[in-house]
Amino acid sequence: MASIAILLITFNFICTSFAFDPRPLQDFCVADPPGNATCKDPKTVTANDFFLSGLDRPGPFNAYGTTAVRAKSDTVPGFNTLGLTFVRSEYAPNGYLPPHIHPSSSEVIYVVEGMLEVGFITTYPEYKYYSKVLNKGDVFIIPVGLLHTQRNVARTKTVITAASNTQNRRVIYTPDSVFAAKPAINSHYLAGAFKLDEKTIKDLQTKPWFM
């Protein structure tokens, strides 16, 4: 009985230890070089390792009418091991992001200017769609791993910032991943899955998917 009790206590301790996010053992681990897992010598770290300028100067709009500047470990070395990513995005009138998933992080969206319609879909079998039109000053959270949508519903551009609780903000754009997969997914299979004719599927597979 004593052995069983010790075993249960040990198992419980192990389970508890895995229930929490890992925490760094030092104050920081500035990536050296940026994007690398190696820590920079703390004696050579400066304030610039935790700094990024230019989030208000994004590049041109992409095919979906969006543009973004990201603060992450390969642009801000001090982000390394902190489990954070920060993005500033702009949406042109009628700009949008295709339905997509962040498989390893939740996302908090804050509207700086304009109006953004956002929403996420719960898992099978409910597939409930929670959506909201956000105005300047509004915040909305996307739970981890759920398919979500974003589109500008203002007559002018919309600007948002978004924070994710991960160092590696991975994304899967659903249309792009399905129709631009290499090698291509069987078109007959996709026709059945999407309830479309095979000609339409083959046409979609030839599109220049941007994402």
Q: Give pLDDT tens digits for 113-140.
A: 999 999 999 999 999 999 999 999 999 9
Cβ-based neighbour number of residue 102 at 10 Å: 23
pLDDT band at 36 (very low <50, low <70, confident <90, very high): confident
pLDDT digits (tens, 9 = 90+) for 68-103: 999 999 899 999 999 999 999 999 999 999 999 999
Q: What is the pLDDT of residue 34?
A: 80
Q: Which residue has the higher pLDDT, 3 or 49?
A: 49
17 has pLDDT over 90: no
Q: What is the dihedral of CA 103, 91, 209, 183, to 10 degrees?
A: -10
Cβ-based neighbour number of residue 101 at 10 Å: 19
The residues near 181 (Cβ < 8 Å, ≥ 6 apart) are: none
CB of 117 closer than 8 Å to CB of 153: yes
CATH number for the region 42-170 comes to 2.60.120.10
Mean residue pLDDT of the chain comes to 89
33 has pLDDT over 90: no
pLDDT digits (tens, 9 = 90+) for 188-205: 999 999 999 999 999 999
